[in-house]
Amino acid sequence: MYIFVINSGSSSIKYQLFRWPVEQPVCSGLLERIGLADATITHKVFTAEQEQVSQRSLPIPDHAAGLREVVRLLTDPEQGVLRDPQEVHVVGHRVVHGGEAFAATTLITPAVKAEIKRLFSLAPLHNPANYLGIEVAESLFPQARQVAVFDTAFHQTLPPKAFRYALPTSLYSEFGIRAYGFHGTSHQYVAAQAATYLGNPTAKIITIHLGNGCSMAAVLGGKSVDTSMGFGPLSGLVMGTRSGDLDPSVIFHLIQERGYEPVQVQTLLNKNSGMLGLTGFSDMRDITKALLAGDPAAELAYDLYAYRIQKYIGAYAAVLNGLDAVVFTAGVGENDARIRALVCRNLEFLGLHLGETRNEECTKELREINQAEARVKILVVPTNEELAIARQCAELLTA
């Protein structure tokens, strides 16, 4: 069966098409800058282990127009991989926030859509785009079963001592204010890959997802027991544009003493802070260039970024009562050897001994970067959220 996976962001759509049970996608793509006249779509078709890439710039006013363009590419007479959109059996959607209602992959029904919509206030930057992706896909693939895979679902195994805040109980019972965690699909995928590699299904693993958004998870026996993101995706690590952990007093000070409006503070912490606030750049590749040019702001940003990760490694090693592996994943985690070296520095007491030569190697496969004799494995595991979503869709519908 064909499974079409959609990862719909506020101004982008990532997608992959699988001819299940083959886990190598038939095609994949990325549509960026939706809503602008110079939107771009990069479409890749995989045949006989070869990759055919096409890229276009065109006006894409909204997600509906974007997905229509994707369908056109899927069925293109020359480069297409489908004769008709009706061949798609399942559409899998990444949905960021499932609250406490969804602890597993779920077939989308009107009631499920209503709950996703109800959760808009908990993920205002993500759930509306995810919901829109569902509505558009329902119109373009009316015969297909629509399935939701929730970023928060993997973290529903957190114990109350990890997910509750020390606030009045009514705020939790009436309004659902608690830590939910995010990037769950990625953490679950790479933790499972690592456990299989270790040959230990009960392994104690710390997963470190470092992209533009960043988070960590403590995983015990394949289950999340703690994670760095909380009520929303703002807390925890320093990120591309998000502040990460912050004393709430700063927010009160900005509003009461500096005249900020709440929406200004929200924009400041979500879009103008993190590495962007520290250096003027949100992309680590630009920050690396600045660092190599001797920019002290870039040096501080790198140190601060790595230091925050180290603190969570220490905390999660305590939570897990030991450690079998640390896993780096996502764009920065997989590709930035400097960050990995800074993170692992001075953690020998935990059993982390980085292999410098191994760390500098750059491949697209799961690999060890620890010294050969090290007790704790340091792994780089490429994440693949789209494949993880496809797997979960197939498991749900063939159970």
Q: What pLDDT shows up at residue 362? A: 85
Selected catalytic residue, list 151, 226, 324, 336: 151
In this structure, are residues 13 and 387 in contact, taking their beta carbons and an 8 Å threshold? Answer: no
Mean pLDDT score, 245-262? 97
What are 298's two structure tokens? Answer: 């870039």
Strand partners, 379: 327, 368
247 is catalytic: no
CB atoms under 10 Å from CB of 361, counted, come to 11
pLDDT at 51 over 90: no
Higher pLDDT, 5 or 10: 5
Write out the binding residues for ATP. 14, 209-213, 283-285, 331-335
Q: What pLDDT shows up at residue 150? A: 95
Q: What pLDDT shows up at residue 23? A: 93
Write out the binding residues for Mg(2+). 7, 385
Residues 139-176 have pLDDT tens digits of 999 999 999 999 999 999 999 999 999 999 999 999 99
Q: What is the mean pLDDT of the chain?
A: 94
Band (pLDDT 50/70/90 cuts) for residue 399 is confident
Pairing of strands 214-220, 204-210: antiparallel
Q: What pLDDT shows up at residue 75? A: 93
pLDDT at 350 over 90: yes
> Tokens 């250096």 label which residue?
279
Tell me the C-alpha distance between 223 and 187, whole Å.
10
In this structure, are residues 394 and 3 in contact, taking their beta carbons and an 8 Å threshold? Answer: yes
Mean pLDDT score, 358-372? 94
> Tokens 């780089």 label which residue?
380
Tell me the C-alpha distance between 102 and 150, whole Å.
7
Count Cα atoms within 13 angstroms, Cβ side, for 388: 23
With vertex at residue 218, the alpha carbon angle to CA 250 and CA 165, rounded to the nearest 5 degrees, is 40
Considering only 50-64, 87-101, 160-174, which range has the smallest mean pLDDT? 50-64
Write out the binding residues. 7, 14, 94, 209-213, 283-285, 331-335, 385
C-alpha gyration radius of the chain: 21
| Bond into 21 cis (ω within 30) | yes
Domain spanning 200-385 has what CATH number? Answer: 3.30.420.40
Tell me the C-alpha distance between 189 and 192, whole Å.
5
In this structure, are residues 90 and 147 in contact, taking their beta carbons and an 8 Å threshold? Answer: yes
Write out the binding residues for substrate. 94
Same fold, 2-150 and 200-385: yes
Mean pLDDT score, 274-302? 96
pTM confidence score? 0.92
For the chain, the structural domain boundaries read 2-150, 200-385
Phi and psi angles of residue 241, each rounded to the nearest 5 degrees, phi first: -125, -5
Q: What pLDDT shows up at residue 215? A: 97
In this structure, are residues 165 and 179 in contact, taking their beta carbons and an 8 Å threshold? Answer: yes
Task: Tell me, letter by letter, the H, E, C secondary structure of the chain.
Answer: CEEEEEEECCCCEEEEEEECCCCCCCEEEEEECCCCCCEEEEEEEEECCEEEEEEEEECCCCHHHHHHHHHHHHCCCCCCCCCCHHHEEEEEEEECCCCCCCCCCEECCHHHHHHHHHHHHHCCCCHHHHHHHHHHHHHHCCCCEEEEEECCHHHHHCCHHHHCCCCCHHHHHHHCCCCCCCCHHHHHHHHHHHHHHHCCCCCEEEEEEECCCEEEEEEECCEEEEECCCCCCCCCCCCCCCCCCCCHHHHHHHHHCCCCCHHHHHHHHHHCCHHHHHHCCCCHHHHHHHHHCCCHHHHHHHHHHHHHHHHHHHHHHHHHCCCCEEEEEHHHHHHCHHHHHHHHCCCHHHCCCECHHHHHCCCCCCEECECCCCCCEEEECCCCHHHHHHHHHHHHHHC
Strand partners, 399: none
Q: What pLDDT shows up at residue 327? A: 98
Q: What pLDDT shows up at residue 189? A: 96
Domain spanning 2-150 has what CATH number? Answer: 3.30.420.40
Residues 166-218 have pLDDT tens digits of 999 999 999 999 999 999 999 999 999 999 999 999 999 999 999 989 999 99
In this structure, are residues 52 and 45 in contact, taking their beta carbons and an 8 Å threshold? Answer: yes
